[in-house]
Amino acid sequence: MDDLVLDHFRKLLEDVCSPNEIRAVENGGSTAVMWTAFQDSGFLDALIPEADGGAGLGLADVAPLFLELGAHAVPLPVAETMIGRALLGKASITSPSGPLALADLTLSRSALVLFADQATHVLADLGDRAALFEMAGFEATVPDSRGWCGARLRIRTDAVPVAELGQPRPGLRAIGAVACAAQIAGATRRVLDMSVAYAGERVQFGKPIGKQQAVQQNLAVMAEHVVMAGMATQIGCADGLDPTLEAAAVAKQVASAAAAAVADIAHAIHGAIGISEEYDLQLLTRRLHALRLAHGSESWWAKALGVARLEQGSTSTVDYIRAIGAV
């Protein structure tokens, strides 16, 4: 990704998604200004071919943008809309102008869907096909907790899709998981930066706590998780908009495991102030926990990968992982 483009995107996020603006949205404020800024920026069509009016970028190209979304705790389905627009575009379906959530309804008629509380439309995987619905096609309930950002969607029996497209393989959950992994990678990196900075400022026993070996060791472990989440995300993004199940599984298993671990260490480093509403760390750690669960936690993906591996049969571990990491 061009540094200039990335800087431009960062500037956009800093302008319209400041911590106070995120708080306002979380408190029920309007997202209209924020969303209009994303729409006007052109970034929402980054994954659409140039011939069709987009930027013609691949998933690996836009992954750094997804990381920035995570690092800024953007409370809207921006990555999901970029992906949804590209999938709809491929099927020659005109995308709606509003935020688009991605939902897997292959396992149940209802699902907790990330950012669905802020979406106007849902691209849903129905198993034999994917379909675009207006939000009116669902009963939406919002869990009354700040620990989740999204809604429970139950598809209405009489829901009529706006448009239908073919069967997504290996399922929308896979690309949704990759998008979450990327946002985790960005958020964990930001949380590490905040924790290192805080450890350098907070003085106890006459010196910054970052001079204590016990704190240094915990921050080193945190850094390792950040490296793992970042690399797993790259593996997930390597195959483009239809990741293999294996690549998506690696991305989300590793990133979800890192998300919880990084949030835990960050709070341990920050002490009581990290628990306070007014300090920005919580915007990121609450999001990390939500991203960890969305589209399947680490164990869900571990099992999916284990099943896939046992089905393939007696391939050595090294040969099996070589095929997943191939770029």
Q: Write the binding mask 171 to 190 for another protein: x where contact by CB under 8 A, - elsewhere.
A: ------------------x-
> Pairing relation of β-strands 100-104 and 121-125?
parallel
H/E stretch holding 130 reads strand 130-134
Measured CA to CA, the distance from residue 278 to residue 159 in angstroms comes to 41
Cα distance between residue 296 and residue 291, in whole Å = 9
Contact between 55 and another protein per CB under 8 A: no
Widest CA span of the chain, in angstroms?
67
Number of residues counted as binding another protein (CB under 8 A):
54
* The pair of three-digit structure tokens given for residue 324, joined into one six-digit string: 């997943």
Rounded-to-integer distance, Cα 221 and Cα 214, Å: 11
Binding to another protein (CB under 8 A) within 188-217 occurs at: 189, 192, 196, 199-200, 210-211, 213, 215-217
* Paired tokens of 262: 């990084």
Q: Which of 88, 149, 235, 263 binds another protein (CB under 8 A)?
A: 235
Instruction: Report, in Å, the least distance between residue 91 CB and another protein.
Output: 29
Regarding 302 and contact with another protein (CB under 8 A), the answer is yes
**Residue nearer to another protein on the CB measure, 9 or 198:** 198
**Residue owning tokens 């835990």:** 264
HSE of 165, CA atoms in CB hemisphere, 13 A: 22
Shortest distance (Å) from residue 43 CB to another protein: 23
Among 48, 238, 284, 294, binds another protein (CB under 8 A): 238
Please report, as ranges, the residues that interact with another protein according to CB under 8 A: 189, 192, 196, 199-200, 210-211, 213, 215-217, 219-221, 223-224, 226-228, 230-232, 234-235, 238, 249-250, 253-254, 298-299, 301-310, 313-314, 316-322, 324-327
